[in-house]
Copies of this chain bind each other. A is one copy, B any other.
Amino acid sequence: MAQNDTVTRILDAAEVLFAEQGFAETSLRTITAKADVNLAAVNYHFGSKKALIQAVFARFLGPFYELIEISLDAHEKQYPDTILSIEDILRFVARAMANVTEGDRGRLAIFMRLLGLAYNQGQGHLRKFLQTEYRTLFRRVMALIARATPELQPVERYWRFHFMLGAAAFTLSSMEHLRAIVEHDFDTKCTEEEVVGYLLPFLAAGIRAK
């Protein structure tokens, strides 16, 4: 399992470095040095840097995708025809994310930071990769939100969905930094769970404003 070990070590190093510095700012030499692996290994195992970036995402999103699909399926089977509230939906998403990043505290921040980068970085080849790869999940969540907010016009609901996404991606991706400020300014520590606990009511109230 030598090659598997090499692949894993590259992905581990890359995911941390990408989140810390961005994609363009992180060189393959930095990654391979941190992974203690030969430079050529990236191109041998992944083919290119671009493919490595997508592999980093796939390792995150694959399990997340499966987990949330499974839990939604289970819930719909157990309670058919129930309409989930916004809070319920958000809790499903949050729990799936927590499960995917469990063990490694701080990995949630990496996840969200990568997501934010993917949305904002470059010509959006990553955004397209994500949107085509996870279109069905996206549609499913959107449909749930639509049933939870029947009073909203579709366009406004669409925008409010992205307001939620933005609030989550932006803050959770800068979590370490923001938490450090909280600790300095308010002399209080915040756990990841507490921050998410602050976040969900904000999002829920926002999406059904007015």
Contacts and interface: CB of A to CB of B under 8 A. Distances in A.
Pick from A113, A121, A170 the residue with the most CB of B within 10 Å. A170
Question: Which label, helix, strand, loop or mixed, suits the secondary structure of the A interface?
Answer: helix
Nearest to A162: B171
A75 to B, nearest CB: 25
Interface of A: 20-22, 24-25, 113, 116-117, 119-124, 127, 154-156, 158-160, 162-171, 173-174, 177-178, 181-182, 185-186, 188, 190, 195, 198-199, 201-210
Nearest to A202: B206
Given A116-B120, A117-B120, A206-B206, 7 more contacts: A21-B123, A22-B121, A24-B24, A120-B170, A155-B188, A158-B185, A202-B206
B155 A166 contact: no
B158 A182 contact: yes
Nearest to A208: B205
